[in-house]
């Protein structure tokens, strides 16, 4: 175990050095300085799973900041090139933000938003079972913090008007709607008179919002869903049924939803093409602390995740569907000793013995036959 950790540490250091050298260049490519894309080209979208800063993670961010404040940028540096090279990058925020001395895991330091922005994330889903941990004040603080960092958001709202406003994002030549919902709020009821504070998952609600997004001008509709059974690698019956229902819905012969991104299992789950639409049942946790199974045993699988990457091509005719022409997953793990996200394939190339982790992720992701529909492991 010690030898493996040393190999990982060496590989992580090499990857971080390379990432730091090109970080500014990659980040600049996603700013207004990028030349306007040709109208006919497509776009790439990447998506990461839960950002769940446990106490040890927060302590590491404080150490990386030199003991004053918190710095999450080094934690994410290894995946910064993958994220910033995409036309659109999405993430999921599990916790609400507190003040700079917030105690994890109920709340995360607001500096986490700056880390997301520096890494290249454009929009994050905020609907989760922890959305109401600090009441509406927590929602307000979280969304205000993301606004200041320049990161868009969807899934929770400060006002009724905001809840009814579609989060439309530019991805190359396309307009992408990002919608988000959670299956529960850990039993915490919605605030009296503010039922719009958190988007609760229900198929009728999701489809109505997806159709509204189309009317608002969305070329592509992406839905982030907080669903599933924690610690379970296989999708549960509710996930499977809901995926079939949502991907089957069409308006004028065109699917209402173009991509589903799942979180909540705290472990990688399969990717699958359902009714012609890609569904990621669970991306896994990109950032997390030590994870334990139901028997109380530490589960290293809880520190594995994937970064989904999808390449969309424009429709062959006006009003047609933007099609996914390339679907990929990039295996990741969170090194809890180093406090770093690790790009597994790149780390293997630097000499780390992570082939077992890579193969475990690949087996799960492809377990529902996605390879036959073209899903491949990306780099």
User: For position 99, what pLDDT does the model report?
Assistant: 76
Q: What are the beta bridge partners of residue 279?
A: 260, 272
Reduced DSSP (H G I as helix, E B as strand, rest coil) percent helix, strand, coil of the chain, to 5? 35, 25, 40
User: For position 17, what pLDDT does the model report?
Assistant: 46
User: For position 261, what pLDDT does the model report?
Assistant: 98
Mean pLDDT by 10 residues, the chain (379 residues): 46 47 45 49 96 87 94 97 98 89 69 97 97 95 98 98 98 97 96 97 98 98 96 95 98 97 94 98 90 61 91 93 98 94 97 96 98 97
Sequence ranges of the domains in the chain: 40-54+81-332+364-377
User: For position 294, what pLDDT does the model report?
Assistant: 60
Rg, C-alpha atoms of the chain: 19
Distance, in Å, from the CA atom of 137 to the CA atom of 153, rounded to the nearest integer, reads 16
User: For position 289, what pLDDT does the model report?
Assistant: 74
User: For position 53, what pLDDT does the model report?
Assistant: 82
CB 335, CB 12: distance < 8 Å: yes
Q: Name the DSSP class of 258.
A: S
User: For position 231, what pLDDT does the model report?
Assistant: 87
Cis peptide before 78 (omega within 30 of 0): no
Distance, in Å, from the CA atom of 142 to the CA atom of 156, rounded to the nearest integer, reads 9
User: For position 105, what pLDDT does the model report?
Assistant: 53
**Which CATH superfamily is 40-54+81-332+364-377 part of?**
Metallo-dependent phosphatases (3.60.21.10)
User: For position 313, what pLDDT does the model report?
Assistant: 98
Burial (CB < 10 A; 0-12, 13-18, 19+), residue 38, is exposed
């Amino acid at each position: 175990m010690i030898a493996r950790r040393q190999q990982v540490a060496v590989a992580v250091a090499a990857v971080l050095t390379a990432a730091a050298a090109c970080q500014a260049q990659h980040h600049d490519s996603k700013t207004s300085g990028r030349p306007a894309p040709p109208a006919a080209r497509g776009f790439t979208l990447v998506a990461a799973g839960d950002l769940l800063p446990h106490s040890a993670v927060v302590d590491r961010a404080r150490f990386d900041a030199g003991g004053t404040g918190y710095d999450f940028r080094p934690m994410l540096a290894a995946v910064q090139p993958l994220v910033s090279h995409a036309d659109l990058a999405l993430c999921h925020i599990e916790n609400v933000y507190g003040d700079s001395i917030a105690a994890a895991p109920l709340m995360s330091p607001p500096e986490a938003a700056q880390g997301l922005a520096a890494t290249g994330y454009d929009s994050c889903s905020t609907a989760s079972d922890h959305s109401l941990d600090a009441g509406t004040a927590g929602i307000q603080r979280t969304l205000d913090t993301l606004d200041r960092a320049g990161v868009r958001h969807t899934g929770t709202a400060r006002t009724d008007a905001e809840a009814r406003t579609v989060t439309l994002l530019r991805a190359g030549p396309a307009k992408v709607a990002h919608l988000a919902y959670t299956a529960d709020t850990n039993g915490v009821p919605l605030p009296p008179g503010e039922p719009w504070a958190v988007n609760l998952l229900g198929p009728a609600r999701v489809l109505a919002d997806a159709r509204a997004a189309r009317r608002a001008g969305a070329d592509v509709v992406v839905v982030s869903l907080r669903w599933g059974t924690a610690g379970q690698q296989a999708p549960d019956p509710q996930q499977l049924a809901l995926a079939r229902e949502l991907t089957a819905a069409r308006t004028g012969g065109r699917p209402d939803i173009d991509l589903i991104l799942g979180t909540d299992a705290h472990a990688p789950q399969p990717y699958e093409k359902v009714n012609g639409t890609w569904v990621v049942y669970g991306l896994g946790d990109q950032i997390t602390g030590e994870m334990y199974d139901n028997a109380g045993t530490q589960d290293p699988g809880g520190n594995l995740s994937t970064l989904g990457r999808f390449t969309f091509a424009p429709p062959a005719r006006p009003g047609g569907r933007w099609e996914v022409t390339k679907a990929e997953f990039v295996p990741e793990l969170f090194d809890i000793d180093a406090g770093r996200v690790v790009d597994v394939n790149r780390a293997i190339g630097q000499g780390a013995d992570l082939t077992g982790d890579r193969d475990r992720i690949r087996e799960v992701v492809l377990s529902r036959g996605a390879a036959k529909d073209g899903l491949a492991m990306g780099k």
